[in-house]
Chains A and B, each alone.
Chain A
Amino acid sequence: GAVVSQHPSWVICKSGTSVKIECRSLDFQATTMFWYRQFPKQSLMLMATSNEGSKATYEQGVEKDKFLINHASLTLSTLTVTSAHPEDSSFYICSGRAAYEQYFGPGTRLTVT
């Protein structure tokens, strides 16, 4: 099956710093990529949808200036958490969509101290 990678797999950063998470589709072109967030013991929640070359569409309640999404190519999308705070500590997962299939990355665990 198709593969989506995320980097880094885990990151610890200090409050106030920014963190960039990369999501790559390794063997397919993802016209659409999705970013999800999962807090402990909760279900995944969609944060934003990004189409290659377009601005991301953010879900209600997700601050677009805080969670910067760039989808510069059909194989790469990045999520930058700016001025991170402890409440941003979460598990971030991306997925890439090709045709009618959706493939998930392994996730990035962010801890903000």
Chain B
Amino acid sequence: KNEVEQSPQNLTAQEGEFITINCSYSVGISALHWLQQHPGGGIVSLFMLSSGKKKHGRLIATINIQEKHSSLHITASHPRDSAVYICAVEGSQGNLIFGKGTKLSVKP
């Protein structure tokens, strides 16, 4: 079993829809990251969470430490949101363990 599981693996949405991507993990962590990877491969760090909830523009990330679960929400989705979204958990030394990613495609 992978230490970081994401669901769904693939997601197609219509522009304007509310999107949720889930991440569950089985190891102890110091923080959880949500990353965005565009087709060219470059990675953008969206959020780093250790508790609660964070919001940035149309993006919201939540984490439940007790349940070892995090969600990334995108409100009013747009085609430019199309990318792979990766959940990564951070160990005490700063090393990251990555989920396999969720490929999001938002259709106009």
A binding-site residues for B, Cβ under 8 Å: 1, 32, 34, 36, 38, 42-46, 49, 91, 93, 95, 97, 100-104, 106-107, 109
Q: How far is the CB of B22 from chain A (nearest CB, A)?
A: 16
* Complex A-B: 28 CB contacts under 8 Å: A1-B45, A32-B94, A34-B94, A34-B96, A36-B98, A44-B86, A44-B88, A44-B96, A44-B98, A46-B95, A46-B96, A49-B93, A93-B43, A95-B96, A100-B31, A100-B48, A101-B48, A102-B45, A102-B48, A102-B94, A103-B45, A104-B44, A104-B45, A106-B41, A106-B42, A106-B43, A107-B42, A107-B43
Give bound CA distance, A42 to B44, whole Å.
17
A contact face: mostly helix, strand, loop, or mixed: strand
- Chain A residues with CB below 8 A from B86, complex form: 43-44
Give bound CA distance, A95 to B35, whole Å.
12
Give bound CA distance, A57 to B43, whole Å.
23
Instruction: Kindly count the residue-residue contacts between A and B in the assembled complex, taking CB atoms under 8 Å apart.
Output: 51
Contact of B100 among A42, A101, A106, A107 (CB under 8 A): A42
- Chain B residues with CB below 8 A from A97, complex form: 94
Closest 7 CB pairs of A and B: A106-B42, A104-B43, A43-B98, A44-B98, A43-B100, A107-B41, A97-B94
Q: How far is the CB of B91 from chain A (nearest CB, A)?
A: 10
Give bound CA distance, A32 to B92, whole Å.
13
Q: How far is the CB of B63 from chain A (nearest CB, A)?
A: 15
Q: How far is the CB of B57 from chain A (nearest CB, A)?
A: 14
Contact of A34 among B33, B44, B45, B95 (CB under 8 A): B95
Inter-subunit contact A102/B41 (CB<8 Å): no
Give bound CA distance, A32 to B44, whole Å.
19
